[in-house]
Amino acid sequence: MERRPLHDGDIIAGGRARYTADLALAGMAHGAVVRSPHPHARIRAIDSSKARALPGVIAVISGEDAVALCDPIPHSLDAGQLGGNHAEVRCLALERVRYAGEALVAVVAEDPGTAAHAARSVEVDYEPLPAVVETLDALAAGAPLLHAEWGSNVIIAGHAGDHDFDAVAAGHARIAGEVRSHRGTAAPLEPRAWLAEFDPAERRLTMYATTQNPHPLRTTLAAALGLDERRVRIIAPRSGGSFGSKMYGNREDFIAAVMAIAAGRPVRWVEERAAALLPGAHEQVHRYEAAFSDDGRVRALRVSSLSNHGAPAPGHGWGMALVGALTVGAGYAIESVGVDYTVVATNKAPWNGTKPFGKDGAALVTERVMDEVARASGLDPAEVRRRNMLEPDALPCLTPTGIELDSGRYAVALERALERLDYAAAREAQRAARARGELVGIGIGFELTPEGADIPGALVAGFDTSTVRVDPSGRVSVLTGVTSPGGGNDTAIAQLVAAELGIDPAEVEVVQGDTDRTPYGFGNISSRGLVTGGSSALLAAREVAERLRAVAARMLEAPEVELRDGAAHAGGRSAPLRAVAHAAHALGYVVGLDVEPHLEATRSFRPPNIRHTGTPQPYANYPYAVHASVVEVDRETGLVRARRHVVVHDCGTQVNPLLVEGQVHGGVAMGLGAALGEELRYAPDGRPLSDSFKTYLLARASDLPEIELEHLVTPSPFTPLGTKGAGEAGYGGAQAALLAAVNDAIAPARLDALPASAPNVLAAMTR
Amino acid sequence: MIATPFEYLAPESLGAALAALAEDSEGTAILGGGTWLVPDLDSGARRARRVLDLAGLGLNRIDRGEDGSLRVGAMCTYTQLADAPSPLLAMMAAQITGGAAIRNQATIGGSLVAARAQSDAPAAAIAARAVAVLASAGGERRVGVHELAPRRDEILVALELPPPAPGNGYRKLKLGASSWPIATAAAAVGPDRTIVVLGGVSASPIRIEALRPEELTVTVEHPFEDALAPAAYRAAVAAPLARRALEDALRRCG
């Protein structure tokens, strides 16, 4: 379909967009919270008398005060119900804090300055406890425990795949090693923000929130606050970026509601940057062992992945470890794959769902194995991948870890990437550079991203719902349960509906993120906005188009009606769409008798390949990409300069290729940025060190090469248009390719722990 | 959000500023461009009863003497310095991180007084042999920038720079476009003296002087460490960076 810019792109780029923090209500007060400076401490006493005495302070709410207002936060994915440990988490910490930055007191005041002053005036008597910060330390015997009743710091441990490694590996050569990824975060420019108002007479809560999932947030908030779900309205204004960080299950959503209830006033609370940089992800230790035959084919792969989750949390964060385990080796024809995953609690801030939700870890370890097999066998790294990738006719295919790959042409993507790079010439240039004493490396990274998840028991569904409505004036609205994180699914949904109704996409208004207006939906999660929201809107639009055609057929007195250019055409005559719409409403008994009255249809789309019986299939589709990176490394400083980055990406049918490119560019920038040095660092005592964009270094445009992007289109057999998710593309393959390129440059030295920041690379070279 | 109330003063003459400072020098924070002070007040790292804004004092001029010497007002921004006839200050300013908002706001005087190890300005100013002009109610005094340590009742009003050396080089190592410098090296090579100053690698800049370039040796005794890079890394990159700056300076000498 058409390359079309965001319908609201000029408003956003022009600085005229309004975000949650820009909104105000009459009588609005302002919130702030007291955060623990200690990574682990017992709260002995809280003295808020000085804070309360400050002029302009409206409410000071401790964790104990909040108990009466808010139950423990409902888990969105409870490890305790899946064989792991349950942690009861309240909005404000009670008795104990388990990470530096954990909120324990909320303050509401007349203005933000007074609120901040009051928060700093609350005196907390802490009894510091021994903190555990690093993954392996948390697993060591005698480690301080975050939850003594668990008997360990393991939140959950499990296995994906088979147990056949030893049998399959017998007689083959082996490689083994370890690769580590570092803690990073989503780092949207817009921190989380809320504006909440509570009406005590009707017990009605209205909350504007930076959330990806307004309806699930409504359900869980109502449950924890003891409210009727129908009297809770969540509105998610335009998003300034989320990338997973605004998934429901954040305790802060509950703090914001408690502030408004306790204050009896509308309260706005905008999280400070240091707090926005607390939620973690990615931090893993992968130990791998692989057996391969002389031809470079990987026969068996065994991985043990340890995830440093930080303090237990009610969100989905730990699920990233499970998803990563399921994705290891996917796309390659490996007979035996087994992955043990262990999610470890430490006194860092908790993991939070973060793009690309664990699939980065799978790409990192799988691509490392391919490179190590190349190194051990003397084969070229591209050749090793070529020999191991699943052939297109092998699909659909059940992987050893149990996911059913639907469609894909992995080796074709690889060849395209190598062609675009001119691989032979790039290797020749590398040899020439080395002869001059320069360190140049080439790396390949393959990513496969299961998308469109349906998680049993969680409010994360593989389906979603849209309403298409045409008013008597002929105006078209789509009300959909999916939300847009800024990637433009609203623009693409408008395109889909407009095409069915024969109108310009600019004529379609897409309504999202308001629980009182849209059908119950699951928001943006798991790259499913277009697959579910788009497909359901398409189905609803087809139904409405059918009714419009039937009405128009009566009006034009001809049976075959075509909707195009804003009008119904039949038998050489035409009627403007607004006239047809008006007639459908005003002359329903005259021209509308052939169809259901009213130009409104609500449809859901449920991908048919998801199932939870037999071999469970939680995913709807499997987009993928092949990346190739070229880097230069400064021998004296370890600085890595990314020179080229090629991506060949396949998300099936593209509704709007411009938006898909935006997604891939963003994902590649995040993945390269992570690989080059975005890192949430902690002091050995557990204090977070990366509390601003001067200490958490996002990649800027000048840090990155031009992203050379090409597309393959292998349609999904399971969606109406063949679309697949694109929202998590780019990250995992880019990160893996960049690390591989750095290691190619500095060989025989090798960096085993990301990021490939200059200090780490220089240390690896001089080790 | 600045949590505690403060009094904001914006005097229109240096005399008035110095008089106001003398009233409560301990409780006063001097505001240059604010790129350090405002975040510090915001985070609570620093509190002030008074904020004294120097913007109205006319300290943003660059005056060039006939011999090529310069007097640079303390309130000159990096944007101004990028065009200044001081090769070292201009090279330094051109590489400032932070985009137009920082380059148009942050001042050379503020950077020198804040004296953060990560600051760009100190090493370049020292290599340019800048002298700081400090004013107080009691009068003016001059001190080399390498010895700059203003008292609480003093305001840095200007830098005085001798005519630039024939060859100058400035190198900055940072981890990414948004990174503070991990290390900077400013080199000035003249007929009878060579100086290299390393910034960022230790708490205060390291001055290395020699008659001839080949006599320079770089050692970092107490390397600085922060959230971006460990001490060992700074120690390791200091010598290569100094060499590169020096090579640039020698090449420009012709």
Give yes or no: residues A508 and A447 share one domain: no
Tokens 């006063």 locate to B28
CATH of the domain at B174: 3.30.390.50
**Partner residue opposite A113 with nearest CB, options B3, B173, B240:** B3
CATH of the domain at B25: 3.30.43.10
Task: Give yes or no for A699 touching B (CB within 8 A).
Answer: yes
The string of pLDDT tens digits covering residues A134-158 is 999 999 999 999 999 999 999 999 9
**B237 contacts on A by Cβ (under 8 Å):** 636-637, 758, 762
pTM for the model stands at 0.96
pLDDT of residue A767: 83
Asked whether the beta carbons of B165 and B188 are under 8 A apart, the reply is yes
Is residue B175 one of the residues assigned to a domain? Answer: yes
Distance CA A323, CA A473 (A): 47
Distance CA A397, CA A405 (A): 5
Task: Give yes or no for B44 touching A (CB within 8 A).
Answer: yes
Asked whether the beta carbons of B236 and B177 are under 8 A apart, the reply is no
Is residue A298 one of the residues assigned to a domain? Answer: no
∠ at Cα B171 (B168, B177), nearest 5°? 140
Distance CA B226, CA B240 (A): 20
Give yes or no: residues A82 and A43 share one domain: yes
The string of pLDDT tens digits covering residues A87-97 is 999 999 999 99
Task: Give yes or no for B246 touching A (CB within 8 A).
Answer: no
Sign of CA dihedral A263, A269, A274, A278: positive
Question: Strand, helix or coil at A527?
Answer: coil
**Partner residue opposite B177 with nearest CB, options A117, A639, A700:** A700
Measured CA distances, A168 to A301, A482, B39, B181 (Å) = 9, 44, 59, 52
Which of B32, B53, B74 represents a domain boundary (last residue)?
A: B53
Q: Is the pLDDT of residue A614 over 90?
A: no
User: C-alpha B44: how far from its chain's center?
Assistant: 24
CB contact under 8 A, B233 and A758: yes
Closest residue of B to A682, CA-based?
A: B227
Q: Write out the residue range of the structural domain in which residue B183 sits.
A: 167-253
Closest residue of B to A54, CA-based?
A: B4
Q: What's the gap in Å between the CA of A137 and the closest CA on chain B? A: 22
Q: Tell me the residue type at B100.
A: A
Give yes or no: residues A436 and A525 share one domain: no
Which of A556, A573, A605 represents a domain boundary (last residue)?
A: A605
Q: What is the DSSP letter of B179?
A: P
Is residue B17 one of the residues assigned to a domain? Answer: yes
Measured CA distances, A596 to A124, A468, A584, A589 (Å) = 64, 14, 10, 11
Distance CA B126, CA A1 (A): 61
Q: Is the pLDDT of residue B206 over 80?
A: yes
Is residue A721 one of the residues assigned to a domain? Answer: yes
Q: Work out how many domains chain A is built from and give that number.
A: 3
Give yes or no: residues A258 and A114 share one domain: yes
Strand A123-128: give its sheet, edge to edge: A96-97, A41-47, A123-128
Q: How many CA atoms lie within 13 A of A184 on its CB side?
A: 33
Closest residue of A to B237, CA-based?
A: A637
CATH of the domain at A571: 3.30.365.10
- Mean of the per-residue pLDDT values of chain B: 94
Give yes or no: residues A422 and A526 share one domain: no
Which of A218, A243, A269 represents a domain boundary (last residue)?
A: A269
pLDDT of residue B192: 78
Is residue B125 one of the residues assigned to a domain? Answer: no
Partner B, chain A 638-697, Cβ-Cβ below 8 Å:
638-639, 676-677, 681, 689-690, 692-695, 697
Which of A237, A269, A301 represents a domain boundary (last residue)?
A: A269
Give yes or no: residues A699 and A592 share one domain: no
Asked whether the beta carbons of A51 and A107 are under 8 A apart, the reply is yes
Task: Give yes or no for A112 touching B (CB within 8 A).
Answer: yes
CB contact under 8 A, A758 and B173: yes
Q: Is the pLDDT of residue A352 over 70?
A: yes
CB contact under 8 A, B240 and A637: yes
pLDDT of residue A735: 98
Asked whether the beta carbons of A105 and A62 are under 8 A apart, the reply is yes
User: What is the DSSP code string of A120-189?
Assistant: HH-EEEEEE-----SHHHHHSTT---SSGGGSSSEEEEEEEE-S-HHHHHTTSEEEEEEEEE--B----S
Across residues A208-227, what is the average pLDDT?
98
∠ at Cα A630 (A627, A634), nearest 5°? 145
Q: What's the gap in Å between the CA of B236 and the closest CA on chain A? A: 8
CB contact under 8 A, A120 and B179: no
Across residues A484-498, what is the average pLDDT?
96
- Mean of the per-residue pLDDT values of chain A: 97
Burial label for A572, CB within 10 Å (0-12, 13-18, 19+), is exposed
Task: Give yes or no for B229 touching A (CB within 8 A).
Answer: yes
Distance CA B115, CA B143 (A): 15
CB contact under 8 A, B227 and A681: yes
CB contact under 8 A, B177 and A758: no
Q: What's the gap in Å between the CA of A116 and the closest CA on chain B? A: 5
Which of B33, B53, B73 represents a domain boundary (last residue)?
A: B53
Q: What are phi and psi of A305, to 5 degrees?
A: -115, 125
Q: Tell me the residue type at A735.
A: Q
Asked whether the beta carbons of A444 and A417 are under 8 A apart, the reply is yes
Distance CA A647, CA A734 (A): 8
Question: Strand, helix or coil at A567?
Answer: strand
User: What is the DSSP code string of A722-750?
Assistant: -B---TTTTHHHHHHHHHHHHHHHHTTS-
Is residue B88 one of the residues assigned to a domain? Answer: no
Asked whether the beta carbons of A720 and A660 are under 8 A apart, the reply is no
CATH of the domain at A23: 3.90.1170.50
Structure tokens at A221: 């908030």
Is residue A288 one of the residues assigned to a domain? Answer: no
Distance CA A124, CA A141 (A): 32
**A112 contacts on B by Cβ (under 8 Å):** 1
Task: Give yes or no for B240 touching A (CB within 8 A).
Answer: yes
Asked whether the beta carbons of A668 and A461 are under 8 A apart, the reply is no
Give yes or no: residues A471 and A582 share one domain: yes
Percent of chain A whose pLDDT exceeds 90: 98
Q: Residue A253's closest CA among A240, A235, A265?
A: A235
Give yes or no: residues A20 and A102 share one domain: yes
Asked whether the beta carbons of A221 and A91 are under 8 A apart, the reply is no
Q: Is the pLDDT of residue A325 over 80?
A: yes
Task: Give yes or no for B38 touching A (CB within 8 A).
Answer: no
**B180 contacts on A by Cβ (under 8 Å):** 694
Task: Give yes or no for B139 touching A (CB within 8 A).
Answer: no
How does residue B253 score in pLDDT terms, banded at 50, 70 and 90? confident
Q: What's the gap in Å between the CA of A95 and the closest CA on chain B? A: 26
How does residue A65 score in pLDDT terms, banded at 50, 70 and 90? very high
Is residue B20 one of the residues assigned to a domain? Answer: yes
How does residue B3 score in pLDDT terms, banded at 50, 70 and 90? confident
B/e letters for A462-485, b = 16+ CB within 10 Å, e = fewer, are bbbbbbbbbeeebebbbbbbbbbb
The string of pLDDT tens digits covering residues A123-133 is 999 999 999 99
Q: What is the 3-state secondary structure (H, E, C) of A682-714?
A: ECCCCCECCCCCCCCCCCCHHHCCCEEEEEECC
Burial label for A171, CB within 10 Å (0-12, 13-18, 19+), is exposed
Closest residue of B to A271, CA-based?
A: B1
Give yes or no: residues A100 and A15 share one domain: yes
Is residue A505 one of the residues assigned to a domain? Answer: yes
Q: Is the pLDDT of residue B213 over 90?
A: no
Tokens 């137009």 locate to B100
pLDDT of residue B121: 95
Q: Write out the residue range of the structural domain in which residue A558 sits.
A: 464-605
Q: Work out how many domains chain B is built from and give that number.
A: 2
Q: What's the gap in Å between the CA of B64 and the closest CA on chain A? A: 35
How does residue B210 score in pLDDT terms, banded at 50, 70 and 90? confident
CB contact under 8 A, B227 and A695: yes
Give yes or no: residues A472 and A443 share one domain: no
Residues with Cβ within 8 Å of B76's Cβ and at least 6 positions away in sequence, in order, are B59, B60, B61, B62, B84, B107, B108, B109
pLDDT of residue B5: 87
Task: Give yes or no for B178 touching A (CB within 8 A).
Answer: yes
Give yes or no: residues A478 and A413 share one domain: no
Q: Is the pLDDT of residue B254 over 70?
A: no
**Helices marked H in B28-137:** 37-43, 78-82, 87-94, 99-103, 108-114, 121-127
Across residues A673-697, what is the average pLDDT?
96
Burial label for A50, CB within 10 Å (0-12, 13-18, 19+), is middle
Q: Where are the beta strands (DSSP E) in chain B?
A: 7-9, 28-31, 50-53, 62-64, 70-73, 131-136, 139-144, 155-161, 167-174, 181-189, 194-199, 206-210
Question: Strand, helix or coil at A393?
Answer: helix
How do strand A29-35 and strand A103-109 relate by DSSP bridges?
antiparallel
How does residue B252 score in pLDDT terms, banded at 50, 70 and 90? confident
Which of B12, B35, B53 represents a domain boundary (last residue)?
A: B53
Give yes or no: residues A483 and A504 share one domain: yes
Structure tokens at A571: 């038998």
**A32 contacts on B by Cβ (under 8 Å):** 1
CB contact under 8 A, A762 and B228: no
Q: Which residues face B177 on adjacent strands?
A: none
The string of pLDDT tens digits covering residues A102-131 is 999 999 999 999 999 999 999 999 999 999
- Helix (H) / strand (E) element for A298: namely strand A298-308
Structure tokens at A39: 């990574």
pLDDT of residue A615: 84
Distance CA A361, CA A676 (A): 16
**Partner residue opposite A676 with nearest CB, options B44, B176, B230:** B176
Burial label for B54, CB within 10 Å (0-12, 13-18, 19+), is buried
User: What is the DSSP code string of A196-245?
Assistant: EEEETTTTEEEEEE--S-HHHHHHHHHHHHT--GGGEEEE----S--TTT
Closest residue of B to A684, CA-based?
A: B227
